[in-house]
């Protein structure tokens, strides 16, 4: 995989495929946090120690057993410019934390970009697996396989009573964060979302925005993930998230049916207005773009809009982020210039093809 490819292609290869319930679940993700036994955690490590960890873990990533999962390429973050790192964040291939602190930081990416192995983030090792649609168990199977491979080659920081030791106490135990990114416009429009989200938090799950902890839920996109990592097994964590996510999917489907049955004209009007504005606007900020794209995506899923694929909406959700806009137009842009270019890019994608 060339650096040019990950920086220019908005959609990772895995995002081009549709998974189960992909009209509601955009993606399923597993992230596993691990640290090495005889090295200080990243926040306490010297530059030299961080480099040693990076060299050790990138060497393991070249193991033949990992290559069975596909081809991989490693990137030293110190060799990437700020825009390239921003693009990686917008594609969810690295965390903002890793992008902002590249002392010995690296990422190992699979060719499909469905597997991202972050080195010297908050922890020495962050294994991330992304699958399209509702495939949280499949994502865990792959992440667990990679975790086992690393554990055969390096000594993890592990306590018999507490489990895997991590920089943040909230990750101690299994070190697993399982999450599903869900598009829930009908629950928002029918004003059920607050009740649903309140119920989610009472069963040990967290609700976050597009970029995880501390981010706002824009475009009706909600990331549902486990909060508890200590005192539960990996299977219990996955099963709990799977069960709750399945219920949310059914609630969203029911809400969509209700909208069509009781408010079809209003929903169709909302969808077409958003499509019209996206097709003709001259300036648009990221928040409005996310909401309008959400409306159109709902219209596609409800078959109120024809001849437009969900993949186009997925691509625009990524392309309209600040880093990608500057990458696409190959120029540094201030906030107003980004809003103008964002509208231009959306018009280009939605204009009739001749």
Nearest-angstrom CA–CA distance, 36 and 233:
21
- pLDDT mean over 281-301: 95
**H-helix or E-strand spanning residue 350:** helix 335-350
Does the pLDDT of residue 57 top 80, yes or no?
A: yes
For residue 303, give the nearest of 264, 276, 350, 353 by alpha carbon: 264
Q: What is the pLDDT of residue 354?
A: 39
Q: What angle do CA 326, 332, 335 make, to 5 degrees?
A: 85
pLDDT tens per residue, range 180-231: 999 999 999 999 999 998 999 888 899 986 555 544 567 899 999 998 888 8
Give the Cα separation of 271 and 232 in Å (integer): 43
Residues 45 and 175: beta-carbon distance below 8 Å: no
Task: Specify whether the backbone of 330 is left (phi greater than 0), alpha (psi in -120 to 50) or beta.
Answer: left
- Whether the CB-CB separation of 220 and 185 falls below 8 Å is answered with yes
Binding residues for ATP: 27-31, 92, 126, 177-181, 208-213
Strand pairing class (221-226; 176-183): antiparallel
The two structure tokens encoding residue 315: 């691509």
Q: Which residues are annotated as a binding site?
A: 27-31, 92, 126, 177-181, 208-213
Q: Write down the pLDDT at residue 328.
A: 80
The boundaries of every CATH 3.30.590.10 domain in the chain are: 3-252
Measured CA distances, 274 to 268, 278, 289, 308 (Å)? 10, 6, 9, 14
CATH architecture of 3-252: 2-Layer Sandwich (3.30)
Contacts of 166 (CB under 8 A, 6+ apart): 33, 34, 35, 122, 123, 172, 175
pLDDT of 311-343, one tens digit each?
888 888 888 888 888 888 888 889 999 999 999
Rounded distance between C-alpha atoms, residue 313 and residue 286, angstroms: 14
């Amino acid at each position: 995989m060339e650096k040019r490819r990950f920086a220019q292609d908005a959609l990772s290869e895995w995002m081009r495929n549709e998974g189960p319930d992909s009209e509601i679940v955009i993606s399923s993700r597993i992230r596993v946090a691990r640290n090495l036994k005889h090295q200080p955690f990243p926040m306490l490590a010297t530059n030299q120690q961080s480099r040693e960890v990076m060299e050790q873990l990138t060497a393991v990533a070249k193991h033949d057993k990992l290559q069975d999962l596909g081809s991989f390429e490693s990137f030293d973050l110190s060799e990437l410019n700020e825009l390239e790192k921003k693009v990686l964040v917008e594609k969810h291939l690295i965390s903002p934390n890793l992008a902002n602190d590249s002392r010995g930081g690296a990422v190992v990416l699979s060719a499909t970009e469905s597997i991202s192995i972050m080195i010297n983030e908050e922890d020495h090792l962050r294994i991330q697996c992304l699958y399209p649609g509702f495939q949280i168990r499949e994502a865990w199977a792959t992440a667990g396989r990679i975790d086992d491979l690393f554990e055969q080659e390096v000594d993890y920081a592990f306590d018999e009573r507490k489990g895997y030791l991590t920089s943040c106490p909230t990750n101690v135990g299994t070190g697993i964060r399982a999450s599903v990114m869900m598009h829930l416009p009908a629950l928002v429009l029918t004003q059920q979302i607050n009740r649903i989200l309140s119920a989610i938090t009472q069963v040990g799950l967290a609700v976050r925005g597009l970029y995880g902890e501390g981010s706002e839920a824009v475009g009706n996109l909600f990331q549902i993930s486990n909060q508890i990592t200590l005192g539960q097994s990996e299977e219990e964590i996955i099963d709990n998230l799977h069960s709750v996510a399945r219920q949310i999917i059914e609630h969203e489907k029911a809400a969509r049916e209700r909208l069509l049955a009781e408010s079809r004209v209003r929903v169709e009007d909302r969808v077409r207005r958003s499509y019209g504005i996206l097709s003709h606007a001259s300036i648009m900020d990221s928040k409005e773009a996310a909401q309008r794209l959400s409306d159109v995506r709902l219209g596609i899923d409800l078959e109120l809009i024809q001849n437009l694929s969900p993949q186009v909406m997925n691509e625009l959700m990524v392309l309209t982020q600040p880093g990608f806009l500057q990458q696409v137009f190959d120029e540094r842009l201030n906030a107003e210039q980004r809003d103008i270019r964002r509208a231009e890019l959306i018009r280009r994608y939605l204009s009739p093809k001749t």
